[in-house]
Amino acid sequence: MQTSGSIRKSKQTSVVGYLPRKLTVDAKKKLDQKLLKLFVNDFQPFKVVEDSGFKQFVKALNPNYELPNRHAISKELIPALYEKCLVEMKSLTSTVESACLTTDCWTSRNNESFIAITIHFIDTEFELKSILLGRHSFNLNHTANNLAKEIERVLNSWNLYNKITFAVSDNAYNIKNALNMLGFKNMGCFAHTMNLIVQSALKLEEDLINKIKNIVSHFRKSTVANNALKTYQINNGIKEPKKLIQDVPTRWNSTYYMVCRFVELETSIRGTLGLINNAPENLKQEEWVILKDLIKILKPFEEATKAISRQKYMTASLVIVIVQGLFKVFNNLLKMNLTQRVLQVVEKLLANMNERDGFKHTEKSKTLSRCTFLDPRFKHIPPFNHNAKLLTTTKTDIIEKTSEIIRSKYIEDDGTHESATLVDVTHSNCEPLSIWNDIDSCVAKSSPMGTAKSRAIVEVQRYLEDPIITRCQDPLKW
């Protein structure tokens, strides 16, 4: 029998029980992997692990976790994570049957040249996947030959060279020639083409846009002016004051967003410029009207740019639809009550669209026509319901491609060549009293009849008879 003293003693926890347990190797690795997300996902500097505040924070969360230093992160952990990711991505790309390639070249602020190569494909679960194969320094002359060699080198290192069915780049001659040298069907980036079209038209209002840039720059550089703008908004009941936006010369839509914000803050800008010293010249009343009309006519291009620039989204089927939509909108804009100067911009935009053959005649691209036809959102709407010839040509093309797939699948599955029909199973090949007679008969009745082409015609017609889906739905999920 235990005494009361012994009972009390058994309930007491030893001091050792309160001591924090040392992390296991696996637990340490898991925490290291979570830490790496700071750098891989959020692009935080490695030196954050040496900041005293961050150290104290981590210590409070788990006193047993010892932070790796920045050298361990850059020399060991990040390279190890890269190798792990590389193995996973190569395993994934080994299952790819065909892919589209996108590539771009640029120069950094430090005057360093780079090239990036990405592939896009639909996996077995019908999900769109994108993998950056490489982003490398490229210090050679950007000739077509040098670019072609670099792209070929990267693709061969991934065993993907023979799996590329299409390529997209900007509209520079050197990269387009490089893709032609590699034998890839290709086209210029549609978003880049739109950027060139709009930037060219906006030169008509270059003086006005520069005037806006000057005002925006003044407010962004002057603390006094910026505070005055903020105070003016607060005094006029705006709870969350907004700042002016500076545009980026290489992107037309950044100019659009700059103008939108500028017009949004018109009252505050007018009021503030009259209160500060050395203020830049304000806009005239007619210039404010021009800006509002500019926003109106540029909105369709902004919508198109956003739609075509999305990631994780099928965009090739949008090109023809967007082009025809833009032509219709801008022909209607010519009939609207706009300022004369803005009407000139509309005319210039239309002229630019007509002058670019790759823009005006996108429906002539067999690849883009196929993509649009096979998108369940667009199969019964422009351009196909307004162009009988395009519909017939594309439909015939799709039927031929479908019959090729059916024919190759039949040969692959059965190891035989197509005869008059895909199925010609009779009882003549069976023994009169074979136990398999009923089974063979059922298989023959359930197997698809007809030639590959006749089956393809039925398949395409069934697709066309299915109801279309809404513009916001995912065609791949369909």
Distance CA(121)–CA(130), nearest Å, equals 7
Q: How far apart are CA 70 and CA 122, in angstroms?
A: 38
Q: What is the C-alpha to C-alpha distance for residues 201 and 297, in angstroms, rounded to an integer?
A: 11
Residues 333, 404 share a domain = no
Residue 471 is assigned to a structural domain of this protein? no
Same domain, 146 and 223: no
Q: Which two tokens stand for residue 53?
A: 């505040």
Rounded Cα gap, residues 238 and 230, in angstroms: 9
Phi/psi at 131 (nearest 5 deg)?
A: -130, 125
CA–CA dist 369, 381 (Å, integer): 13
Is the distance from CB of 115 to CB of 136 less than 8 angstroms? yes
369 within domain boundaries:
no
Lowest-confidence segment of 103-112, 171-180, 414-423, 440-449 by average pLDDT: 414-423
pLDDT of residue 451: 85
Same domain, 149 and 127: yes
Q: Is residue 475 assigned to a domain?
A: no
Confidence of residue 7 (pLDDT cuts 50, 70, 90): very low
Position 210: which residue type? N
- pLDDT tens-place string over residues 283-311: 999 999 999 999 999 999 999 999 988 76
Which among 340, 363, 386 is the end of a domain? Answer: 363
pLDDT higher than threshold 80 for residue 12 = no
Check whether residue 221 and residue 173 sit in a common domain: no
Q: Can you give the pLDDT at residue 309?
A: 84
Q: Are residues 211 and 287 in the same domain?
A: yes
Least confident window among 247-256, 428-437, 459-468: 428-437
Amino acid at 102: T
- State the average pLDDT over residues 205-217: 95
Q: Mean pLDDT in the chain?
A: 87
Within a 10 A sphere around the Cβ of 335, how many other Cβ atoms? 7
The answer to whether position 373 is within a domain reads no
Q: How far is CA 261 from CA 83, 248, 291, in A?
A: 45, 14, 11
Q: Which of 363, 388, 404 is the last residue of a domain?
A: 363
What is the structure's pLDDT at 179? 96
Residue 7 lies in a domain: no
Query: Kind and range of the H or E element at 206?
Result: helix 206-221
Cα–Cα distance measured from residue 202 to residue 291, given in angstroms and rounded to the nearest whole number? 12
255-259: average pLDDT: 96
**Mean per-residue pLDDT, 8-30:** 67
Q: Mutual orientation of helices 266-273 and 252-264 as an angle, nearest 10°? A: 70
**Residues 79, 160 within the same domain:** no
CA 347/CA 354 separation, integer angstroms: 11
Note the residue count of the chain. Answer: 478
* Beta bridge partner(s), residue 391: none
Domain end point (choices 188, 205, 227): 188
The verdict on 264 and 342 lying in the same domain is: yes
Q: Amino acid letter at 165?
A: T
Residue 69 lies in a domain: yes
Q: How confident is the model at residue 446 (pLDDT cuts 50, 70, 90)?
A: low
The rounded distance, in Å, linking the Cα atoms of 451 and 419 is: 8
**Domain-located, residue 5:** no
Domain count of the fold of the chain: 4
Q: Is the pTM of this model over 0.85?
A: no
Check whether residue 205 and residue 327 sit in a common domain: yes
Query: CATH number for the domain including 171?
Result: 3.30.420.40
Give pLDDT, residue 66: 92
- Quick one: pLDDT at residue 415? 52
Which two structure tokens, joined as six digits, stand for 114? 């780079």
Task: State how far the alpha carbon of 392 is from the alpha carbons of 346, 347, 369, 395, 397, in Å.
Answer: 34, 33, 11, 5, 9
CA 118, 122, 123, 125 dihedral sign is positive
Please report the pLDDT score of residue 429 as a whole number: 54
**Looking up tokens 């080198």, which residue turns up?**
153
Residue 354 pLDDT level (bands cut at 50, 70, 90): very high
Say whether pLDDT at 427 is over 50: no
- Are 151 and 74 part of one and the same domain? no
> β-pairing, 128-137 with 99-107?
unpaired
Q: Following DSSP, what letter does each residue of 280-341 receive, concatenated?
A: PPPPPHHHHHHHHHHHHHHHHHHHHHHHHT-SSS--TTHHHHHHHHHHHHHHHHTTS---HH
Q: How many CB atoms lie within 10 A of CB 135?
A: 12
- pLDDT one-digit tens code per residue, 122-142: 988 888 999 999 998 998 899
Indicate whether 8 pLDDT > 60.
no
Q: HSE-up of 473 (CA within 13 Å, CB side)?
A: 12
Top pLDDT among 17 and 116 is at 116
Q: Which amino acid is at 272?
A: T
Cite the beta strand spans of 60-141 per DSSP E. 99-107, 113-122, 128-137
Report, as an integer, the average pLDDT of 41-63. Answer: 94
Of 224, 219, 222, 221, the residue nearest 242 (C-alpha): 219
| Residues 6 or more apart whose Cβ sits within 8 Å of residue 124 | 95
Is the predicted pLDDT of residue 419 greater than 50, yes or no? no
Q: What is the DSSP letter of 415?
A: S
First to last CA, the chain: 75
| Residue type, position 286, single letter | E
Residue 15 lies in a domain: no
Same-domain pairing of 38 and 54: yes
**Residues facing 167 on adjacent strands:** 101, 186
pLDDT at position 313 over 80: no
- Do 306 and 220 belong together in one domain? yes
Q: What is the mean pLDDT of residues 8-17?
A: 50
C-alpha dihedral sign at 9, 15, 18, 24: negative
- Containing structural domain, residue 399: 378-465
- Element (DSSP H or E) covering residue 167: strand 164-169
| Residue 64 DSSP code | T
Same domain, yes or no, for 209 and 284?
Answer: yes
